Structure 1
Amino acid sequence: MARRSISSFFEDQTYELPQKGAPEYEYTEQVLERHKREGLYLAVRARWVAMGVVSVLLLFVVPWPEVLFYEFIVAIIAFNGWLMLRIGKVGLSRAELTLLFLDLLVMTLGMVIPNPLSEHTWPQAMQYQFGNFKYFFILLAAGTLAYSWRTVIAIGTWTAGMWTIALLVGWWFADPMPALSEAAKAAFPEGDLAYFMDPTQFHFRLRIQEVVVFLLVAVTLAVSVRRFNRLLRSNAALERERTNLSRYFSPNVVEELSKNDEPLKQIRNHNIAVLFVDIVHFTEFAASRSPEEVIETLREFHGLMETAVFAHHGTLDKYLGDGLMATFGTPEPTQQDAINALNCVHAMMDALDTWNDNRIRRGLPPLRVGFGAHYGPAVLADIGANRLEFAVVGNTVNVASRLEALTRGLNARLVISDGMREEVLKEGGHACLAGLRRFEKQDIRGVEQKLTVWAFERPVEQNPSS
């Protein structure tokens, strides 16, 4: 029979975890770090509450001044929790494990060594007959809030080991006190009863039962912690996927995608609106600027455009250096995709006007931006093998790109196809067509027939370089 490690015993094959070095792994580790800190805060607070309750309880069950010794032990354990909070982190931490070991050692010694403030001369065996072992469960339960399954197992095994060693040491060095044993036999002639009532007996069978039950509980809790951590990793991966989706799709589309199983893998063919945006003569602009200024300019520009796309229920298909491509009606079509696309353009132009005004006030040159939009059929699906990308393919994309390039020759800010205009009218968007001028028989590279286009001309008073 094949041997299995403890790790494989706890392994749950239900979830595929990211491999170390992958971006998913780093993201997941960040989530685990946050979870560890939250769990550690919760564990320490639970410890303090538990120690507070225990300290009050001891006042009623332990006589004065003996109770002061146990209150001191409780205070040490509470302080040790604060130290754990200071040094706790995800992964193997020797300092943290040392504090955990110190926790268990302090509690063990506090339970098995005679109370120095007690006036009674108890037999050593009596230290094991007060039922104090149950307090270890408090530390074990608190450990499940912040630590890995391996640490929970360590708490269980260390506790069992310390308790057993203390038992053997106490038994080996204990004073037999035969007079007490004889008195117990005289008071309880029945053999078994005399044995259980004898204060000098360590009752090994009960001690073994305590240890075994504690270990079983520790293993059970470790399995629960292991499963929870794997669920946490799985949820972290889902959260990362949702975050990635939010970089491409508007929030309402992300919400819809999150409710379906792999909706992007389905190959679909339907009409969409495609928008291309590009900064005119950006190459010449970048040639005379520092790399830092170029990148900062692009970041500001892309930020404005991205905000407008998502605000109008569009999909950010890709950045194209100094431009971008956006689609409307992806991954699912709506009743006003063409209207959304044109409204998005108007919002972009308004944002660019404000941005250029600010650039002029700062002594920077304004930038001229061209927009091209077309409406028509396209194929939508995931492409790629290991690294998937949501792709929109078809002549509609090519035509939209050519229309954006046509803005140079027509001295226009926006050029749309006649088919785009007809769809806007069909959707009831007359208002967003205001200011468009018709240009017939335009040559579009890649299109055999000349097309009728509509252009939103650039104001004459506007700086030509903008």
Structure 2
Amino acid sequence: MAGRVARQRLLVAERQGLKLAVVCRTAAVAFGMLWLTVGWNLAGFVPSPMAMTALALFGVIGVASYTVIGTRYERWWLKYALYAIDILAVCAVFVVIPVSRFAPELPQVLAFRAFGVHYLFPLVAMACLTLSWRLVAWSGVIAVAGWWAAFGLAIANMEQRLSWRDLPAEPTADAYLKVFLSPDFVGYGSRLQETVLLMIAAVILALAVYRARCVFVAQVEAEQARERAVRTFGRFVPETIAERLASNRGALAPQVRHGVALVLDIENFTAYADGRPPEEVIETLGAFLARSAEAISRREGVVISFTGDGLLAAFNTPLEIRQPERAALDAASDLLKCAAAAGFRVRIGLAAGQIASGRVGSERRQAFTIYGDTVNRAARLEVLAKDVGATVLADAGVAGKARPDDLLKPLGEQKIRGFEAPLAVWSKQVTALPGAAG
């Protein structure tokens, strides 16, 4: 799910970046036309009609490309073709445009020596705006290939070609200048260095864009995990606890941790609901469960699920707290007060031990759950409370952390359904309770 969302957002960002690149390209074309018109006139030259026509054509291509980006006419190869045209056009300038309009007999290779490959660097860098590392790498490859193709065409008709290897073993200054300043000097080594540096720069930029995409995807995944955590617990816990769960990426991962399970159920709720309007029952029940969830959250517990007329909560999972048993006992006392205020009588089971937790469900719909013997024991203690006439039952793990003011009384070992061996059970003494619901 997160991967699909990230790809969709990246696609939007790529399109926006491509539009920005086209705008920059069009601005460069406009500047070129201005320079040809104003600059050449100020210098006493007549602007080249061919150059003006070519720039105007490139401007039209840019505007046309901009209008189709994000529409049904857009194609994946559009940006690759656009960058290839721009880069090859710059390379073609070094072959087609004479070095000097007053000395057309000068070798065209002088254009490579006088101006150089640095004209291609802005085009490769501009590809980074699209956030497509493939386009950046493609631009680098096309630039290197186009530069060598243009260089090959420029020197194709030269009768003599001098290069660095034509220097003597120990060249004097005169010998060096004779070769280097010769119109026939092509400098294969210089062209090789230029293109190697250009390709290195393109690879580095492509890696930088790829890294930026990875960071973007990681941020989207973190955001999606945060949203899932908030969706999972946002209805059960206050916003502050939901934010803690969302900020802790490992909190919802499958894990086994010591904690306390709390199971609450309303006594005689069926009798209470019988004969009352459904909307009244739902409103009263909803208000009570909401206050109960708030009481559990105040003790740093988390409501895992609502079970009809009850709830299941956990302490120390998925949020880690220092004293889960102490927090659960305090929460149980708070829940009794909530029940008294609502006119309900409740039963609560508390059990301490290892609790397994994690997300379950499909990619589109998930829920967080806890399970294991500790959770089953808490549920059985809640049922046993009805049989022994108690309100709150706790196992040895919880009772071992109790204080005198918790008013826990040992009931001895009790046979609990689902467990082979009897379990030591403690009951919380309650001095005042409301009448049973109904």
User: Which of the five TM-score ranges fits, normalised by the shorter chain?
Assistant: 0.5 to 0.7
Q: Quick one: which of 320, 338, 343 aligns to 1:332?
A: 320
Where do residues 402-421 of structure 1 align in structure 2 (5 Å cutoff)?
Answer: 403=382, 416-417=392-393
Q: How many angstroms apart in 2 are the aligned matches of 1:264 and 1:376? A: 20
Post-superposition offset of 1:113: 3.3
Measured in 2, the distance between the counterparts of 1:31 and 1:345 equals: 47
Distance of 1:85 and 1:370 partners within structure 2: 65
Name the count of aligned residue pairs.
376
Q: Deviations over 1:123-144 (max 9, x none)?
A: 5445434425323222322333
**Contact 1:375-1:423 within 8 A present in 2 as well:** no
Note the 1:53-452 alignment, pairs <5 A: 63-64=39-40, 66=47, 69=52, 72=56, 75=59, 79=63, 82=66, 86=70, 93-109=76-92, 112-114=95-97, 122=104, 123=106, 124-131=108-115, 133-172=117-156, 193=177, 196-197=180-181, 203-233=187-217, 236-237=220-221, 240-246=224-230, 247=232, 250-251=241-242, 253-254=244-245, 257-258=248-249, 265=255, 268-270=257-259, 272=260, 274-276=262-264, 308=294, 313-318=300-305, 324-330=311-317, 331-334=319-322, 337-338=327-328, 339-340=330-331, 372-381=347-356, 391-395=370-374, 397-400=376-379, 403=382, 416-417=392-393, 446=417
Q: Deviations over 1:24-68 (max 9, x none)?
A: xx4123224324534654575477568758966996798325498
Q: TM-score, normalised by structure 1?
A: 0.55
Give the Cα separation in 1 of the matches to 2:128 and 2:250.
Answer: 32
Q: CA deviation at 1:96?
A: 3.3
CA positional deviation for 1:326? 2.0
Q: Aligned with 2:2: secondary structure?
A: helix
Partner Cα distance (2:29, 2:83) in 1: 19
Deviation by residue 1:71-123 (Cα, 9 ceiling, x = unmatched): 758856864784585369xxx922333333334334444554328xx965655
Aligned-pair CA distance for 1:214: 0.9
Shift of 1:382: 5.4
Q: 1:49 to 1:162 in 2, by over 3 A?
A: closer
Q: 1:402 to 1:98 in 2, by over 3 A?
A: farther
C-alpha deviations, 1:230-271, integer Å up to 9, x for none? 4555555555555555535833643784599x9974x5435x
In 2 relative to 1, CA 104–196 (structure 1 residues): closer, same or farther, beyond 3 Å? same
Three-state SS of the structure 2 residue aligned to 1:64 is helix
Kindly tell me: are residues 214 and 391 of structure 1, through their superposed partners in 2, closer, same or farther at Cα, counting changes over 3 Å?
same
Q: What is the alpha-carbon distance in structure 2 between the residues aligned to residue 333 and residue 45 of structure 1?
A: 50
Alpha-carbon distance, 1:168 to partner: 2.6
Report the residue type matching 1:251 in the other structure: A
Relative to structure 1, is the Cα distance of residues 343 and 135 closer, same or farther in structure 2, using a 3 angstrom cutoff? farther
Deviation at 1:404, TM superposition (A): 7.4
RMSD: 6.2
Structure 1 residue 200 displacement after superposition: 7.3
Pair 1:427–1:333, CA change in 2 (3 A) = farther
Q: Give the 3 Å change call, closer, same or farther, for CA 200–239 of structure 1 in structure 2.
A: same
- The structure-2 alpha-carbon separation of the partners of 1:235 and 1:82, relative to structure 1 and needing over 3 Å to count, comes to same
2: CA distance, partners of 1:340 / 1:47: 62
- Relative to structure 2, which stretch is displaced further, 26-35 or 36-45? 36-45
Q: Where do 5+ consecutive residues of structure 2 fail to align?
A: 42-46, 161-172, 275-282
Partner amino acid, structure 1, of 2:313: A
User: Which among 7, 28, 37 is matched to residue 12 of structure 2?
Assistant: 37
1:6-25 residue pairs with structure 2 within 5 A?
none
Conserved 8 A contact 2:128-2:205: yes
Q: Which residue of 2 is the match for residue 28 of structure 1?
A: 3
Larger radius of gyration: 2
Distance in 2 (alpha carbons) for counterparts of 1:319 and 1:369:
16
Q: Report the secondary structure of 1:86's partner residue.
A: coil
* 1:326 partner SS: strand
**Equivalents in 1 of 2:129, 2:140: separation in Å?**
15
- CA pair 429-415 structure 1, distance change in 2 beyond 3 A: closer
Question: Partners in 1 of 2:249 and 2:187 — Cα distance?
Answer: 59
SS at match of 1:333: coil
**1:380 corresponds to which letter in structure 2?**
I
Deviation at 1:157, TM superposition (A): 0.8
State the SS of the aligned residue for 1:327. Answer: strand
Cα distance change, pair 74–379 in 1 and its aligned pair in 2 (3 A): same
**Distance change >3 Å, CA 348–CA 194, structure 1 → 2:** farther
